[in-house]
A and B are shown apart, each in its own frame.
Chain A
Amino acid sequence: MLWIKNGIVIDPKNGIEGEKMDIFVKEGKIVEESEVKKEECKVIDASNKLVVAGGVEMHSHIAGSKINTGRSMRPEEMRVVRNVAGKFRAVVGRVLLTAPGIGYEYAKMGYTTAVEAASPPIGSPHTHEELDAIPILDKAALPVFGNWHFVFKFVSEKDQEKLQAFIAWAIERTKGYGVKIVNPGGVEKWMYGSNVRTLDDEVPIYGVTPREIITEVVKANEALNLPHCVHIHCNNLGVPGNYETTIETMKLVSGMKNENRPVLHVTHVQFNAYAGSSWRDVSSGAEEIAKYVNKADNITIDMGQPIFGHATAMTGDAPFQFTLHKLIGARWSNKDTEIEGGAGIVPIVYLPKNPVHALQWAIGLELGLLIDSDKVVISTDWPNGGPFTEYPYIMAMLMSKRMREKELERVSPYVQKASSLPAIDTEKTLYEVIKMSRSLPAKILGMENKGHLGVGADADIAIYNINPNEVDPSAEYDLVNKAFRKPAYTIKDGEIVVKDGELVAETWGRTFWVDATKKVSMEAIEADLDEYFQNYYTVERINFGVDERWVKKPARLEVS
């Protein structure tokens, strides 16, 4: 039992905006004061400290074949020693990290939940093995659907019943949490050496278009009423002019509504927010996107903020990765995966003086600043945009124009004409950045017990050494930036795991997965599953997927 005393609480979901209050924890949950015996509580003195929910990472590449190939491919990344073996595991990694390092580093920033954003379905047992090697955090994984031949088939047959049954089947089999789409149709075209360019380009054999895939999959997701909305990495990622594709994609769901969450989450939008027609005249499309998102009532995004320095591009968007490899001449890994899609990996480095990199950096911030704080989530799309350990930098930047002005001095002047960042006066409040890193991602994911401090919530709590009622983030950005890097406490399921920025305990979190199989009739797709597995897969149908008992601490969420 914990008694967190006299903290200054910011808890956007419950409308608490810097109030001095006590928080009580029992059996891993936040409870009413009357539920605990105070004399048995461990007391944490949080006077003058900020008390918030543990951070929720909704888009990061924390587990599976991509991140692991990245590690093997880049030993130069792994040479940075972060922790020597002892009470805790040895940890190495510069931007890429070992699995134990992922758990430790998120916790050391006050984050307690993280979602793997793109798991190749047939690779799901690998994804889960790596998730199981990440300590402390609660986890989940999103299997990728947008280039899976079953999806092509059922979309081309306009058979919602089958599509829904298939999605339920696939999420159950992969022990996944929701539906991810990556460059729908485009990765399949890559198998023939090309890519889709518009929402109306057709996929070979099936004749379906990205427009149809997205629309039908969102419909199915809504009919199933899955906790998380469809999570999309748009077509044309990394192509100048692509902001239009992004907005067109968003328009596909206009008119659709869900009471509890958006119906479409568009991810790492920075990479999909370019105006212009080539890298020579590229500029920001962030304002247009912001306008659309702010007006819409069913769309959220995350930033995909680049951080200057090393990064590794790794996505399920295999044709994009190849283009990137050609563009910068860097190493390139590719993985075409059965009839499911593909992936690629390319090392990159973001340089402040490089006009394009500086523009990317500016666009990420524009999105974070121009979009309402209940519609944009903080992310670097780790490790695509760089380290997640720089979230404190992003938060501080969003809250301080002065800090941005200082930073702008060191980046390519190209951003002055190609983006609106220098002209933006907005300064997000602490309340807003807490929302963007806690309650909002939890809401989009449909994780009711995450991202807030109300009674019944999981006791995932971060306490920082700043008093929100005294600090001026606009002027004291250094202080804020430092404080978020070094929580006074991180508490996971009611246990103190980090104290004064140092790891003090290693715990093991759960892996959430969603079971919607009761909502559909599996019979509808039996024959199709058998046919495709027999003809196009190289594993037997029965050997595909993950059984719950193989997962260390599974937490099943039944959808009814």
Chain B
Amino acid sequence: MENVVCTFCGSVCDDGVFEDGDVRKLCALGKSKFSKKERIKAPMIDGKEVSYEEAIEKAAEILVEAKRPLLYGWASTVNEAIRLGVLIAEKVGGIYDQCASVCHAPGTLALIEEGVPGGTLGSVKNRADVVIFWGANPVEAHPRHPTRYSVMAKGLLIKDRKNRKVVVIDVRETKTAKLADIFVQIKPGYDYAIISALRAIVKGEKIEADEVGGVPVEKLYELAELMMNAKYGVIFYGLGVTQSRGRDRNVENAIKLVQQLNRKTRWVIWPMRGHYNVVGAGEVPAWEVGYQFAIDFSRGYPRFSPAEFTAVEALVRRDCDAALIIASDPAAHFPRKAVEHLKKIPVIQIDPHPNLTTLLSNVVIPSAIAGLEAEGSVYRMDGIVLRVKKLVETEYWSDVQILEKMYEEVVKKVG
């Protein structure tokens, strides 16, 4: 089968070739997604194997009986499953949150403050003569992004790598920096200050300092000059910007810089989203209930509050009394205090593979792997929708099947 869609990172490459259980053309990360890995064997309640129906019924019971269950994960499943998750959260008066709340949520907060002047990856491929990676390391996190969309990609106006200047701004010399024409090393936590300096230069103001955030001022002038002279530029920012001092303020500041640059030439800015469908995990609840993450339904209508209703906040404050975790491993990644609470409450897990969260889950429901054993739609990092395919048959239920049944059971119980 050709034109297979990869379900690993936000690049969502759609040119894989699948043959005899093997996949070609994708990068090593993508290939690993299609190779054989340990699976959860069967549905379980408290360690005992049960049928899907029993496990789902039990899960529904937990969700309905809880005062405020947390439904978390969603970035590595398909939109159809996410939609059902949102509907269940609404029905049971729980909290819907997704992986963005621990990575790119600051980008969403910046969107709220300033909007986002962006473009699809195809715009970059076709037009961008200046590409900046800021606190992002695609060579390791999105391996084919540089070849398909950004660094080496050829298109309408960019016919050759030489037509494009690539800049990497980071706290250390990453592998991506090695691909760059210009590498700007900055001191950790100085993103905001450097963006402000660039804004000042673009505005025509003078910088009264020798260096900003470890970067000599001459170098900043050069960079600003390069930006102003670009025909079509792009800033791709990563967790280095959203998870360092300043967080959403960094992104907001960068957006203001891009707004200014558009008064002279064309620039866009876009986050390097991680999981293959973390964008869908925000888009689907946005159209269903108005917000992207950190949504509480305990009053019967959606409320959005990143300071209260993210998974980590809800767990640390012990504001939830049950949890459904799908396609995610908070036990491995969340702060200790959050995991402690997770250990105390009933947990339902839906996942193809066992992980640390499996160990503390009361109900474990194995699922088919989306993009290999189940189909559905997903959103690439730039919001382009792709349909991931079912390539092989499986005995496992898909996330959609599981959640459809769970929704049914929940509706039966709450009416």
Contacts and interface: CB of A to CB of B under 8 A. Distances in A.
Q: Do A and B come from one complex?
A: yes
Interface stretch (A41-49, A125-133, A359-367): A125-133
A92 B290 contact: yes
Given A90-B302, A125-B377, A543 B387 contact: yes
Interface in A511-560: 535-540, 542-543, 547, 550
Given A73-B111, A536-B156, A543 B266 contact: no
Given A72-B286, A536-B126, 11 more contacts: A75-B112, A78-B304, A100-B288, A125-B387, A133-B288, A331-B115, A335-B119, A536-B155, A539-B386, A542-B3, A550-B377
Interface string A183-197: 000000011110000
A366 B279 CA distance: 43
B383 to A, nearest CB: 6
Given A90-B302, A191-B232, A332-B259, A71 B123 contact: no
A129 B377 contact: yes
B5 interface: yes
A539 B377 contact: no
Given A338-B123, A540-B15, A68 B286 contact: yes
Interface in A318-345: 322, 325-326, 331-339, 342, 345
B48 interface: no
B127 interface: yes
B292 A72 contact: yes
A276 interface: no
A334 B268 contact: yes
Residue with the greatest number of chain A CB neighbours at <10 A, chosen from B154, B264, B379: B379
A85 B3 CA distance: 41
Nearest to B15: A540
A89 interface: yes
Contacts of A325: 115, 259
B297 interface: yes
A191 B266 contact: yes
Interface residues of B, number: 64
A337 B115 contact: no
B82 to A, nearest CB: 10
Interface string B106-142: 0010011111111111110111000000000000000
A338 B126 contact: yes
A111 to B, nearest CB: 19
A74 interface: yes
A75 B115 CA distance: 12
A84 interface: yes
B47 interface: no
B118 A92 contact: no
Contact of A543 (B14, B120, B125): B14
Given A72-B291, A85-B90, A536-B155, A123 B385 contact: yes
B83 A334 contact: no
14 contacts: A69-B111, A71-B291, A74-B112, A89-B288, A98-B288, A99-B288, A123-B384, A126-B385, A129-B79, A191-B123, A192-B232, A322-B262, A336-B268, A345-B115
Given A83-B301, A98-B288, A99-B287, A133 B268 contact: no
Contacts of A129: 79, 284, 287, 377, 385
Contacts of B287: 63, 67-68, 71, 98-99, 129-130, 133
Interface string A486-510: 0000000000000000000000000
B130 to A, nearest CB: 14
A423 interface: no
Given A339-B122, A339-B126, A332 B300 contact: no
9 closest A-B pairs by CB: A338-B122, A336-B119, A78-B290, A333-B115, A84-B300, A331-B115, A125-B385, A336-B123, A334-B117
A522 B91 CA distance: 48
A93 interface: yes
B162 interface: no
Dominant SS at the B interface?
A: mixed
Given A133-B83, A193-B266, A72 B122 contact: no
Contact of B118 (A334, A346, A537, A542): A334
B118 A85 contact: no
Given A72-B292, A90-B300, A338 B112 contact: no
A535 B153 CA distance: 10
B291 to A, nearest CB: 6
B302 A192 contact: no
A92 B231 CA distance: 41
Interface in B292-310: 292, 297, 299-302, 304
Contacts of B259: 325, 332
B148 interface: yes
A122 interface: yes
B149 interface: yes
A333 B149 contact: no
Contacts of B385: 122-123, 125-126, 129
B283 interface: yes
Contacts of A333: 111, 115-118
Contact of A335 (B14, B120, B154, B289): B120
Most chain B Cβ neighbours within 10 Å, of A74, A90, A149, A205? A90
A34 to B, nearest CB: 41
B265 interface: yes
